Amino acid sequence: MPELPEVETTRRGIEPHLVGQRVERVIVRERRLRWPIPEDLDIRLSGQRIERVERRAKYLLIGAQTGTLIAHLGMSGSLRLVPGDLPAARHEHVDLLLESGLALRYTDPRRFGALLWSLDPASHELLARLGPEPLSEVFDGDRLFQASRGRSMAIKPFIMDNAVVVGVGNIYASEALFAAGIDPNRVAGTVSRARYLKLGAEIKRVLAHAIERGGTTLRDFVGGDGKPGYFQQELFVYGRGGQPCKCCGTTLREVRLGQRSSVYCPRCQR
């Protein structure tokens, strides 16, 4: 599933081509996504100028003059700029035709993504209860420490909880915990403030570096320019169960936490 760096990479890739452009037409070939695409999306969006392209957690917010298109890539979705007259292939469900002659094309083989319209995205049910952005000034390790008090769940699913902090998915939670030297099995409420300060800093660093590297290519993900991400080449633990730790050589262990695979180094992480 595309995570925050992949979504931010997509946002940065498509933003220069969208802002200031007028949408001439919306072509919907398949409405049956995770939630049905609104029947009147073409009427609502056609003729409007795009004013901004933002991100909230793993949602892309394409703001027009009278509303916002909320896009979620699901497990296999992508948004790419293509020539407006390029014939659509299988699984290419939606085109936003722009006055520039380009089209923003939404592709989603598994159809777990979403394209929704909102007049007030901040209060939309998908966004209203989300926690802080991990790269914002309001998020840090001290905030994690305060939120963790009395929590009996393991620390990895704790930092993956979108009510605690948004966008720290499985890949980057694993990598940040390794960088901070924290065992993902540790009970969240027992981790010290000092270790949370380190973890908060590592979450910011790992996510920022992944964005710089264009995200992580896992199966279907490509950025808005159609190019893959390269952070996968630098993973220390994610997807490396049974392999030697890059730092100490100890065999990495793989467990399941919160129904997700978690790989860690029993020597480097405690």
- Report the binding-site residues for DNA: 91, 110, 151
Give how far the C-alpha of residue 176 lies from the chain's centroid of Cα atoms, to the nearest Å.
16
In whole angstroms, what is the distance from residue 250 CA to residue 264 CA? 10
In whole angstroms, what is the distance from residue 209 CA to residue 231 CA? 8
Q: For residue 124, what are the contacts with CB-CB under 8 A and spacing of at least 6?
A: 70, 116, 118
Within the chain, what is the greatest distance between any pair of CA atoms? Answer: 59
Q: Please give the structure tokens belonging to residue 231.
A: 């952070």
Please enumerate, by residue number, every residue annotated as part of a binding site. 91, 110, 151
In whole angstroms, what is the distance from residue 213 CA to residue 215 CA? 6
Task: From 103, 118, 83, 119, select the one nearest 28 (Cα to Cα).
Answer: 103
Hey, which residues are catalytic here?
Answer: 2-3, 58, 260
Query: Tokens 């999306």 label which residue?
Result: 41
Cα angle vertex 243, ends 237, 248, to 5°?
Answer: 75
Q: Where would I find the H helices in the chain?
A: 4-18, 41-45, 141-148, 155-159, 170-180, 193-212
187 - beta bridge partners? Answer: 154
CA distances from 150 to 132, 183, 221 (A): 20, 18, 37
Would you give the DSSP letter of residue 122? G
